[in-house]
Chain A
Amino acid sequence: MSPRRLWAVARKESLHIRRDPRSLILAVGIPMLMLLAFGYALTLDVDRVPFVVWDQSRTPESREFTARFTATRYFEFRGAVDRYAALEQAIDQREAMLGLVIPPDFSPRLAAGRAVGVQAIVDGSDSNTAGIVLGYASAITTTFNQQLALEQVRRLTGLAPAPALDLRTRVWFNADLASRNFIVPGIMAVIMGLIAALLTSLTIAREWESGTMEQLISTPVRASELVLGKLLPYTAIGLANMIIAVLMAVYLFEVPLRGSVPLLFGVGMLFVIGTLAQGLLISTLARQQLLASQMAMVSTFLPAFLLSGFAFAIANMPVPVQVVTFIVPARYFVALVKGIFLRGTGLEVLWADAVFLAVFAVVVIGLSIRKTRKHLG
């Protein structure tokens, strides 16, 4: 391999990038836009759920019960209704996701220590959210019940019994359970992979389409020099992308970065180089820009989005799908990014993921060199 020829290819390729503003926009602008869009739009948090109440009881007790809902950040009171039809309308028009119906005999029955049925109507069109909302509602009701029971005991016995069990929860790594904290690092991996593969998927195919490849393969240039020379400038773009993504994650989305920054960028570059090489491999096999870019998109975005574990937990997938995730580099990168960002862990825990990324990069570079044939047809 000649460093001189490799350098000539790298220099030429960087001139292409500089001369083609579209590729620069694709390289830098699109990732920023995507990160913004996904970072803000893709939230799995359920809070400030709008709800309405049909309080037929209108007593201090019923108001107390309603106040338990409004007191949390999970619910937002959207008004009282006085008919069933009005409650129905509020849910139909999506003004409310939850409707509480408090019966007229709420207070008397409570006072008598008899069971009271409070109806909760939930908009189930988004089943996941509905489930979470019901969970919140029953948790509030349970607490309310417990306090009622305690007060009753105190009233009857004059004693204040300690509650039997008290679960003290503490959430590690993502104390607020903010979904953004794990979505942003995940989406970083998806976007970096997608852009990297898209960029390089065009390069060799473009040379085949324009006929410059025929000229190039009539020279003594080696496949390895072509592949590595083309990787070089795009690696720089990949690094720039990653810097932008990390800065946005930390300063815009305020995702805590607890681990080592050099380690983050080190594994990031492994991932980027592997994915760039994947794009080159696709480019050299497809020999057509349109086909190559579509293949690059499908082969990076879909697995990174669906199979990397960033949005959907791998452990919940069917076993055959779980097996497939083992060859998805984004899976390892997502694990690394989450580990370094949120848990602050280092290579002592994450080494296997880093090793996989390195192996993937080496194998795919090797394959692209092998498949970059200096022959026509």
Chain B
Amino acid sequence: MPAASTAEIVVEVQNLEKHFGAFKAVAGVSFAVRRGEIFGFLGPNGAGKSTTIRMLCGLLAPTAGSGRVAGFDIVRETEQIKTRIGYMSQKFSLYDELTVEENIDFYSGIYRLPREKKAARKDWVLTMAGLQAHRRTRTSTLSGGWKQRLALGCAVLHEPPILFLDEPTSGVDPISRRQFWDLIYTLSGQGVTVFVTTHYMEESEYCDRLGIVYRGELIASGTPRALKTEHMAEAVLELDCAQPNEAMAVLERLPEVKEVAVFGKGLHVVAADPAAAEPAIRAALAAGGFRLDRLERIVPTLEDVFVSLIEARDRTAGAQQEFSR
């Protein structure tokens, strides 16, 4: 996105850290998000995604480091930030015993929507979430997808320029998830900056840019395409063969092969030198009596990148630990 590269930076942090006692939930993270971007934070549970998003929203004070959101300091100007953001926490956080309409009314009061705008915004949320027929329904009885869209609607009632979504689609069916992302695209198209955390690989492909977080650190960032092509030193070979589980054990023993993982009904083999690995694989499978249907080098998926980055990280962390002993 060449246009975005010149756009103004609306979220940026430097060496952000958050410690809970001896535990470093976030251990020195730096990044910047431009206006209108959909920036994804991808990482396993406990990687520090929610902690980061909470610090950006002014809900948690960082232990160290600095950051600005919409031009305001995340330590000193949290209340100014709160007027300019929408936030959806991981847990559904609207009032269950209130109706759809009452929840919307409550937040439009909290955000002090001008009277003339109130009705229009409410209609917009109801339409967007597909809840026109359910405006008097208790929120507790809504399905997961509806709740999610209503929560999003309440978070953007005041048309904030920046939106923070913490694992917004966890526990939602695939169709609702797709609908939810359509809404995010619509908002992004209107110039809203979206910062979203996820641990779904396929979801992270929807982002303009991604940061991969692991154990409190940002271990790579870039567009999904760049991550797949630039951040993987090794090549990935995809193969279909008979009895993949047994074949995996054979392939793992080859010196040319770094790792093997089941992927769909086939296998993904990571190898530093694909030219050497390919004949070795063919020979080993033939020797073991496995029928090989297909073997080709592919562009790695985000999952390949993710797994390889994390394993590289664990190896260096392990080595450091050895050294420090």
Contacts and interface: CB of A to CB of B under 8 A. Distances in A.
Interface of A: 2, 4-5, 7-9, 11-12, 15-16, 19-20, 210-212, 214-221, 374-377
B94 A218 contact: no
A8 B98 CA distance: 13
A49 B78 CA distance: 71
Given A19-B97, A375-B61, A219 B111 contact: yes
Interface string B89-129: 10111111110001001111111100000000000000000
For chain B, give the interface size range.
20 to 34
A218 B109 contact: no
Interface residues of chain A: helix, strand, loop or mixed (majority): helix
Contact of B93 (A4, A211, A220, A375): A211
A218 B82 contact: yes
A16 B97 CA distance: 7
Given A2-B112, A220-B110, A214 B89 contact: yes
Contacts of A19: 97-98
A15 B110 contact: no
Interface in B14-52: 20
A4 B108 CA distance: 10
Interface of B: 20, 54, 57-61, 78-79, 82-83, 85, 87-89, 91-98, 102, 105-112, 155
A211 B89 contact: yes
Contacts, number: 83
Given A218-B59, A220-B82, A377-B60, A8 B102 contact: no
B110 A7 contact: no
Nearest to A12: B106
6 contacts: A4-B109, A4-B112, A5-B109, A220-B82, A220-B111, A374-B59
B98 A215 contact: no
B275 to A, nearest CB: 53
Contacts of B98: 12, 15-16, 19
Contact of A212 (B57, B95, B102): B95
A216 B82 CA distance: 10
9 tightest CB-CB pairs across the interface, nearest first?
A8-B109, A215-B93, A218-B87, A211-B91, A19-B97, A211-B93, A220-B83, A12-B106, A214-B89
A375 B62 CA distance: 11
Contact of B85 (A11, A218, A376, A377): A218
B82 to A, nearest CB: 5
Contact of B95 (A7, A16, A218, A377): A16
A214 B98 CA distance: 17
Contacts of B106: 8, 11-12
Contact of B82 (A11, A211, A219, A376): A219
A219 B59 contact: no
A219 B108 CA distance: 11
A210 B109 contact: no
